[in-house]
Amino acid sequence: MDFVVDIYKLTKSFPTLELYGLTNQIRRSAVSVPSNIAEGSGRKNTREFIQFLYVSNGSLSELETQLELAHRIGYISNIENIIEKIKHIIKMLINLIRALENKLTSK
């Protein structure tokens, strides 16, 4: 959730002409991450949860691409910190997925 707040703050300075374009797309990708984790955790079985974690992971990859585009266009001057946060969250998701998959196979 803190990461999404960071993304909203980052995109606040984007040009208003991008409000319904890249700004909206970046924000939607970011919001998708915790939303899918929450939805997956509320599902009735672990396999469904894992699937939603993979969707969150895909949203992070999409977000990374969009941020790189915003950087190349000149909307963001420094993206290293935010990219590092994305990579860290991806690692956490992958580790959670592995732990849940191991839990399934050990039954």
Whole-number pLDDT of residue 102: 94
The domain that holds 50 is classified in CATH as 1.20.1440.60
Whole-number pLDDT of residue 19: 86
Q: For a pLDDT cut of 90, what percent of the chain falls above it?
A: 92
Of the pLDDT bands very low, low, confident and very high (cuts 50, 70, 90), residue 94 is very high
Distance, in Å, from the CA atom of 8 to the CA atom of 20, rounded to the nearest integer, reads 14
End-to-end Cα, the chain, rounded Å:
32
- How many domains, the chain? 1
Q: Which residues 6+ apart lie within 8 Å of 76 measured at CB? A: 10, 67, 70, 82
pTM exceeds 0.75, yes or no: yes
Distance, in Å, from the CA atom of 88 to the CA atom of 90, rounded to the nearest integer, reads 5
Give the residue numbers spanning the domain of 9: 2-105
**At 100, which helix (H) or strand (E)?**
helix 80-105
For residues 86-94, average pLDDT: 97
Whole-number pLDDT of residue 30: 98
